[in-house]
A = this chain, B = another copy of it.
Amino acid sequence: MADVARRAGVSTKTVSNVLSGNVPVSGATRERVLGAVDDLGYEINVTARILRRGRSGLIGLAVPELGQPYFGELADEVLAAARRHGLHVLIEPTGFAREHELAALRVPRRRLLDGLIFSPAALDQGDVAVLEGLDYPLVLLGEQIFSPRVDHVTMHNVDGARTATDLLLDAGRRHIAALGILSAPTAGASRLRFQGYREALAARGIGVDERLLGRADEGWHRANGARAMASVLDSGVAVDGVVAFNDALAIGAMHELQVRGHAIPRDVAVVGFDDIEDARFSVPSLTTIDPGRREVAQVAVDVLRRRLDERETPHLTGTPPVRHLAALRLVERDSTPPRRA
């Protein structure tokens, strides 16, 4: 930067002013500085800037795994939203591991990241104190952990699962399997979606049949959807409907059903959750719950950005924690029978 200043015949401060744009600089000087920058092929050293400013313009996104379509698509949305605000995103896949999630929480404290958007999968309500003790802006995704002192952006899991189950019940199905149950009692989305399933059944006076519950403790992947479906079918119980707790499970389940000769939706109707791109092109296309992924991403970035701004102006701090529930939408496709008009 000193070289640029020399060449332009100004001080480094003026160069800094031109490049940061914070302080107005007269037209002629500006041109000269930019000319010198071009001549020398100068690029600013971001690290020094961050050190000096105390803000990096980088936010973290901690999610389990990008290969899972839901998170890959979510990450794209977060990255796009962040870019609109001039922020960059460091993605930290935590692989469903407690230690990786804890490690991810420590990164911003080291001052490289200004804040964190965190979708917990291994940490649970018992770890809420860890999250409340953090001294940087944090936005929590999902309903795995709740704290009145932390910003949340999520969706109404219970409602979504109830809607999905109701759709099958309305179609006259009475032997509805639920796929994606986790053995661990604390797991957020699984428990809530199961609750929605149970509530929908209960509203029609139907009890939960254990044989219809498909576990997926190794993660909500397609392979586990197929496996869970297989174990339900192997139990010998009659099945005419499936509520899968995400689309990947649903697609795995549809695969297994069709391999065994069950027609979808005639013999078995299937509903998923997430509305990933696959859902539109599976065979048959998958009826599912659109959880407002884009809205979640945008709001999460927005809340985080607001907290970062508040930090800059300490006297304005103190907005109460946000709890945003994104709108859900039922997307009906060909894996469920068309509704009677």
A residues lining the B interface (CB < 8 Å): 43-48, 50-51, 56, 58, 65-69, 71-73, 75-76, 79-80, 88-93, 106, 109-112, 221-223, 225-226, 251-252, 254-255, 258, 277-278, 280-283, 285
> Of B50, B71, B89, B255, which contacts A282 at CB under 8 A?
B255
CB-CB under 8 A from A252, the residues of chain B are 281
Given contact pairs A90-B88, A110-B46, A112-B46, A281 touches B65 in the complex (Cβ within 8 A): no
CA distance A91 to B93 in the complex (A): 12
Which residue of chain B lies nearest to A113 when distances are taken between CB atoms in the complex? Answer: B46
B76 adjacent to A43 (CB under 8 Å) = no
Which chain B positions have C-beta within 8 A of A93?
Answer: 76, 79-80
The 4 closest A-B pairs by CB, nearest first: A72-B72, A222-B281, A67-B73, A283-B283
Question: What number of copies of this chain does the assembly contain?
Answer: 2
Bound CA span A39–B211, Å? 52
Q: List 11 A-B contacts (CB under 8 A).
A: A43-B110, A45-B51, A45-B110, A46-B110, A46-B111, A50-B112, A66-B79, A89-B90, A89-B91, A251-B281, A254-B283
Q: Are B56 and A67 in contact (CB under 8 A)?
A: no
A282 and B282 within 8 A (CB): yes
Contacts of A66 in B (CB 8 A): 66, 72-73, 75-76, 79
Q: Which residues of B contact A251 (CB under 8 A)?
A: 278, 281-282
A273 to B: closest C-beta gap in Å = 16
Q: With A47-B50, A111-B46, A112-B47 as given contacts, are A281 and B75 in contact (CB-CB < 8 Å)?
A: no
Q: Which residues of B contact A44 (CB under 8 A)?
A: 110
Residues of B contacting A46 in the complex (Cβ-Cβ under 8 angstroms)? 110-112
Mostly helix, strand, loop or mixed at chain A's interface?
Answer: helix
Q: In chain B, what residue has the closest Cβ to A264?
A: B283
A-B contact sample (11 more), CB < 8 A, given A47-B111, A47-B112, A75-B91:
A45-B110, A47-B50, A47-B51, A51-B51, A67-B69, A69-B69, A72-B72, A90-B91, A222-B277, A251-B281, A283-B283
Known: A47-B47, A72-B72. A277 touches B111 (CB 8 A): no
If A43-B106, A43-B109 touch, whether A283 touches B281 (CB-CB below 8 Å) is: no
A279 nearest CB neighbor, chain B only: B222
Residues of B within 8 A of A88 (CB): 90, 92
In the bound assembly, the distance between CA atoms of A222 and B106 in angstroms comes to 38
| Smallest CB separation, A100 vs chain B (Å) | 9
Give chain B residues whose Cβ lies under 8 Å from the Cβ of A75: 66-67, 72, 91
Choose one: B58, B71, B89, B280; the contact of A222 (CB below 8 Å): B280
Residues of chain B contacted by A43 (CB below 8 angstroms): 106, 109-111
**With A91-B89, A110-B43, A281-B252 known to touch, is A76 a contact of B69 (CB < 8 Å)?**
no
Given contacts A45-B111, A91-B89, A278-B222, contact A65 B76 (CB under 8 A): yes
Most-contacted residue by chain B among A66, A76, A89 (CB, 10 A): A66
Docked Cα-Cα span, A11 to B271, in Å, equals 63
Q: How far is the CA of A278 from the CA of B280 in the complex (A)?
A: 13
Interchain CA distance A69-B248 in the complex, whole Å: 12
